[in-house]
A and B are shown apart, each in its own frame.
Chain A
Amino acid sequence: MTAGRPSPSPAARVSPAPAGLFRTFIARNLRQQPLRSAATVASLAVGVAVVVAIQLSNASSVRGFSTALDALAGRTSLELTVPGVGLDETRLANLGWLREYGLVSPVIDADVLLEIATDGAAPALEAVRLLGVDILRDRPFRDYPLVDGDAPRLVTTQGFLDLLTDPRAVILTRPFTLRHGLAVGDPVTLVAGERTVSLRVTGILGDEGPARVLDGNFALMDIAAAQWAVGRLGRVDRVDVRLADGVDVARAEREMAARVPPGILVRRPSSRGAEVERMLRAFQFNLTALSLIALLVGLFLVYNTVSVSVITRRSEIGLLRTLGVARRAVVGLFLGEAAALAVLGCALGAPLGWLLAHGAVRLTSSTVSQFWIASSATVPPLEPRMVGLAFAVGLPLALVAAAAPALEAARLTPLAAVRRDDDLDARARLSRRSVAGPLALFAAGAWLAAQGPVGGLPVFGMLAALAVVLGAGMAMPAVLFCFRRWCGAAMARWLRVEGRLAHANLGSAIPRLSISVAALAVSLAMMTAIAIMVGSFRETVVYWVGQTLQADLFVSTARGSPAAERGGISAATEAVIAGHPAVEAIDGFMGMDVPYGGSTITVGAGRFATRLERGGLLFKDPADGTAAMSSAIGRDRVVVSEAFSLKYDAGAGDEVQLPTPAGPTPFEVAAVYFDYSSDRGLVVMDAGTFERHFGPERPSGLTLYLASGADPQTVRDELNAALGPERRLFITTNAALRAAVLRVFDATFAITYALEVIAVGVSLFGMAATLLTLVLERRREIAMLRLVGADSGQLRRLIVVEAGVLGALTQAVGLVVGLALSLILIYVINVQSFGWTIQFHLPVGFLAQATVAIVAAAALAGLYPARLAARFELGDAGGIS
């Protein structure tokens, strides 16, 4: 801090060379203002870090999936699948011609749980990717390097075959066995659906090939054993084809697609990755947009720092111009200042982003795996690419932010040095631009909000939000002018002499304050908008859960995976459950992932009659959804979720083509219903219709309706006892499930709040830095106040009141603009990205608390400048002597 220590004007010692000029005029000044420089660098670093963190966390969720995909695909060129239900083995005989193209290997590919006994404690459960192969056929496709400790264990194909011939044999990976202290010969239990199978470890794979899936959570079995273990006798999930050398993949894909019987899809393994990326795109797009807000706030502060630097050094700039420094060199100097700050900010931001990414991944991975794909929650290492991203994002934007003040500096004439008009312009006027600018941006926002999505992404919606946010920032000078014009009397009345002085000080510092206050207003508006959006969403979900979760008990298999797995609860189990005297009705649900329109949707089956009788669906279209749903029983009609309807533009009465084992089959949409469980699109048909098209499948979940008066908790305990420990089923009461739904909901939005808290924190920090600058600039006036009798307490209160008033003003703007933004979020961005209708709800309590917290935090931000002001010496009132 240079308080009280006048430093010789750097302009007086300039060296003529640009580099020397930069050193003396800019670098020295940055060093003399360590607090302001550090504040700017820090806030830019945080902004850049948030962007990097979100990119890393986005990358980690896709990376987990695509590395798994690559590792599992091995040298597979093309794969044959039947969407959802898998390929009937009897059809394989008709596919002998595939060998004309190359090698062929049928596989079982399933997500299962492995249970590992531990000493005393509850057994460990881990999700594992299970691959079942015919090792004789599969070795050309994938590498299975067996190890013995650290050393490779070389075995012949025959030897490998021997390792897998036992139907209870499983080969695990070295990382997995190390984690759980397993060795060859140890027992493990495989859990698939409600089934459990005891297995024995017969080999350990080195960290190569498929073993690298999901950090080693991979298990290899013989295909027949795997079919039996996961309950898919007579079916394979895929047939992998490795094309012979010289065969063109595209041609082979075309020819094979023409030759396979209807219902079988031929595609490249990578297409599944593309589907996943498309599925996650909206979620990641929204996170990226949010992370840019934090960066925007950082950039506001760069603009602020360079502006203050230009304003306070007008006479020095004038002197430089007098000494013959060209306008272009002046622009270069101040852009150089921004660049110096940005380089430091980006250099710190990249590693900080990597650290933040660990938190972000923890917050997002549960969401990603809850809704979309099983992903490993590890952060990729900080690669040069990410450091490059930090600089690519931070540096040019910082230069853009600094361009306006730098150009302003260049416009100064040599006269500025003589005039010494660098004091605060106490009565700056409200320019027409500061009223017309925000109005134009708000109008543009309204127009943009009315536009449709681009490629399934709410691009215009985001631009509308950006326009409103920038409009809010630009409106701050006008708001401060209104404050100056109309609030003086009230401030003087309520806050006495401190209020009167604070009002006068703030009113006179509008040009200086506008930027940092705008940055705060922007982040507060975003926070308000997100609070309203999440609050509305939560209320909507609570209502939806209340309406749709009508059953008393929910039975599901042990799986907690996102991908709806087929099969699960056997007829025998259902019979046991139905035999309980309190169980009046049972609805069964199963769903499976099928590719649709370049992405993945879930096709499900339910027992419509039970559903209709018991109620519990909220229909969007048509008005009498219940009648429409009952008309779907026994016919090729489906009900679809709102997300499906919006994404694929399919309303009641429209026809959709679903892939079935018999090839694409048309279904009529009977009704559209509200669903907030997934954004991927759900198509549901009556169980009978499903069986007709996809074959008999057991449900993966049951909902039980109990006789009136029956206690769900008691029935649950009795059912658990009747089913025995061998059947791995989870029975949840209605209340517990509702609580779980809301827990998932809150976890989903944790990252959103975390990003917002960072943005608000950075902008509060920026505001404190601005207040400090103002206090230092007003050193003379503050000393003058001391002289005429303001005691230290009054001075401290004065600065704290100024900070608190700024906080209150920006929060007021934040609330109004945030309300407008929330409408865009709810009615445009959410609908376009996820296809959800959210009922508007104002979380009054939260907003009131946030307002109190912001005003208090802003006042606290004024404490340090206030303490500094109270310490000024009377001698600082220059011109006294």
Chain B
Amino acid sequence: MVVLEARDLRKRYRRGDTEVTALDGLSLTSEAGTFTAVVGPSGCGKSTLLHLCGAMDRPSAGEVRLDGRSLADLDDDALTRLRRDRIGFVFQFFNLLPTLTVAENIALPLLLGGREPSAAMARAAAWAERVGVSHRLDHAPPQLSGGEAQRTAIARAVVHEPALLIADEPTGNLDSGNGARILDLLREVNRRSGAALLLATHDATVAAAADRTVEMHDGRIVRVESRSGAREPAPAPELAAADAKGSAP
């Protein structure tokens, strides 16, 4: 089942006096339970792609569909609700709220969604158990190690059972041992929850773990490689559009 569908995405913004093209007609689909790694040099547009797919930003042109629904006509608060209900985020710098405990951080999407607090906290505790931070439930984020903080962030990203999991360099701030453990955890969560995982990374080891690797350059996809090792040419926008139409439910 297709969860994410990005069609002919373009993103331009101004930096000072110059206009920068971050994405230049990019299309991508992602199915439930799949793990897509986005690779490429710094500035190639990986993060911009993730922001657009994660409903954090709007494209200059093109369209993003989540669960078959276009994000273009949603207002700011509707996008916020969509993120809260359907998307999970993991970042390089963990981005936990330092003022909340680990348990509250994990439960945050549920609490913001109006879930009954005791149920939300119980669910957070269950996820803490699964990611291995249950001994830290009442601690504040500054007291955690890097690995613990990222495991907490992963628990927060999946506690509300999102359809799409966005991870931007999730291992970039960790040593290799912790990085490997986080990758295993993400992979496991991805398989068990059935969420589509879209992960940007510089790390070849991380990319190697994905079902599919999308390589970007200058705001375009230059190569798509599936896990079997077969190389696919980058789809032209019109092809991708046709492909998307064909695979629409």
A790 at the binding interface (Cβ < 8 Å)? yes
Residue of A with least CB distance to B86: A789
Complex interface: stretch among B98-106, B126-134, B176-184, B234-242? B98-106
Interface of A is mostly: helix
Determine whether the beta carbon of A880 is less than 8 Å from that of B81: no
CA of A875 to CA of B99 in the docked complex: distance in angstroms? 20
A496→B111 CA distance, assembly (Å): 8
Contact A500 B104 (CB under 8 A): yes
User: A877–B84 contact, CB under 8 A?
Assistant: no
In the complex, whether B80 has a CB less than 8 A from a CB of chain A is: yes
- Find chain A residues with CB under 8 A from B80 CB: 786, 789-792
Q: Does B232 sit at the interface, judged by CB under 8 A?
A: no
A793 and B99 contacting across the interface, CB-CB below 8 Å: no
Q: Which of A496, A505, A507, A880 has the most CB of B within 10 A?
A: A880
- Asked whether B57 is an interface residue with its Cβ less than 8 Å from the other chain, the reply is yes
In whole Å, how far is A794's beta carbon from the nearest beta carbon of chain B?
Answer: 6
**Contacts A788-B84, A791-B80 given; does A880 touch B100 at CB 8 Å:** no
* Number of residue pairs spanning A and B whose beta carbons lie under 8 angstroms apart: 97
Chain B CB within 8 A of A850 CB: no
Nearest B residue (CB) for A425 = B142
**A501, A505, A787: the one within 8 Å of B56 (CB):** A787
Give min CB distance, B216 to chain A, whole Å. 14
Known: A426-B142, A789-B84. Is A500-B111 also a contact (CB below 8 A)?
Answer: yes
Q: Are A788's CB and B77's CB within 8 A? A: no
Contact between B89 and A788, CB atoms less than 8 A apart: yes
By the criterion CB–CB under 8 Å, are B109 and A792 in contact? no
Instruction: Give bound CA distance, A497 to B114, whole Å.
Output: 8
In angstroms, Cα B114 to Cα A798, docked, is: 14
Bound state CA distance, A98 and B20, in angstroms? 103
A781 within 8 A of B: yes
CB of B81 within 8 A of CB of A508, answer no
Establish whether residues A874 and B97, one from each chain, have CB atoms under 8 Å apart when the complex forms.
no
Q: Is the CB of A794 within 8 A of B99?
A: no
Interface pair B81/A874, CB less than 8 Å apart? no
Known: A427-B140, A880-B91, A881-B168. Contact between A792 and B56, CB under 8 A?
no
- The DSSP consensus for interface residues of chain B is helix
Q: Is there a chain A Cβ closer than 8 Å to B218's Cβ? A: no
- Shortest Cβ gap from A468 to chain B (Å): 32
Q: Is A412 located at the chain interface by the 8 A CB criterion?
A: no
B51 touches A787 (CB 8 A): no
Contact digits for B154-174, partner A, Cβ 8 Å, 1 yes 0 no: 001000000000001000000
Whether A497 and B111, one on each chain, are in contact in the complex, defined by CB atoms closer than 8 angstroms, is: yes
Judge whether B76 and A792 touch: CB under 8 Å. yes
Known contacts being A879-B91, A879-B93, is A424 close to B112, with CB within 8 Å? no
User: Mask for A388-432, Cβ within 8 A of B = 1, else 0?
Assistant: 000000000000000000000000000000000001101100000
User: Bound state CA distance, A863 and B97, in angstroms?
Assistant: 23
Query: Does B76 contact A424, Cβ atoms closer than 8 Å?
Result: no
Measured CB to CB, the nearest residue on chain A to B117 is A492
B99 touches A505 (CB 8 A): yes
Is the Cβ of B47 less than 8 Å from the Cβ of A881?
A: yes
B residues in contact with A426, CB < 8 Å: 98-99, 140-142
Cβ–Cβ contact A793 & B51, under 8 A = no
Interface membership of A117, Cβ < 8 A: no
A504's partner among B50, B104, B113 (CB-CB below 8 A) is B104
Q: Which of A493, A504, A880 contacts B95 (CB 8 A)?
A: A880
Q: State in angstroms the CA–CA spacing of A423 and B142 once bound together.
A: 11
Q: Are A791 and B77 in contact (CB under 8 A)?
A: yes
Expressed in whole angstroms, the minimum distance between the Cβ of A201 and any Cβ of chain B is 79
Question: How far is it, in angstroms, between the C-alpha of A227 and the C-alpha of B168 when the chains are bound?
Answer: 101
Which residues 850-881 of A sit at the B interface, judged by CB distance below 8 A? 874-875, 877, 879-881
Query: Interface 1/0s, chain B 71-93, versus A by CB < 8 A?
Result: 00000110011011100010111
What are the residues of chain A within 8 A of B89 when measuring CB–CB? Answer: 787-788, 880
Bitwise, B29-57 to A at CB < 8 A (1) or not (0) is 00000000000000000011011000011
Q: Is the CB of B104 within 8 A of A508?
A: no
Given A423-B98, A424-B98, A874-B56, A789 and B93 touching (CB < 8 A)? no
**Interchain CB contact under 8 A, A791 and B108:** no
**Residue in B83, B93, B100, B156 whose beta carbon sits within 8 Å of that of A501 in the complex:** B100
Complex-state Cα separation, A423 to B96, whole angstroms:
14
Contacts of B156 in A (CB 8 A): 788
Given contacts A427-B142, A500-B104, A793-B77, contact A879 B97 (CB under 8 A): no
Q: How far is the CA of A427 from the CA of B98 in the complex (A)?
A: 9
Are A792 and B112 also in contact (CB < 8 A) when A877-B95, A879-B92 are? no
A504 near B100 with CB under 8 A, answer: yes
Q: What CA separation (Å) do A792 and B245 show in the bound complex?
A: 35
Complex Cα gap A501–B156 (Å)? 16
A496 to B115, CA, bound (A): 10
**Listed A/B pairs (18) with beta-carbon separation below 8 Å:** A493-B117, A496-B114, A497-B112, A504-B100, A788-B89, A788-B108, A788-B156, A789-B80, A789-B85, A789-B108, A789-B109, A791-B80, A792-B76, A792-B80, A874-B51, A874-B56, A880-B51, A881-B51
A426-B142, A793-B77, A874-B57 given; 8 more Cβ-contact pairs under 8 Å: A426-B140, A500-B117, A785-B112, A788-B83, A788-B84, A789-B83, A791-B112, A879-B92
- Across the A-B interface, the 6 shortest Cβ-Cβ residue pairs: A789-B84, A879-B93, A881-B47, A504-B99, A508-B99, A497-B111
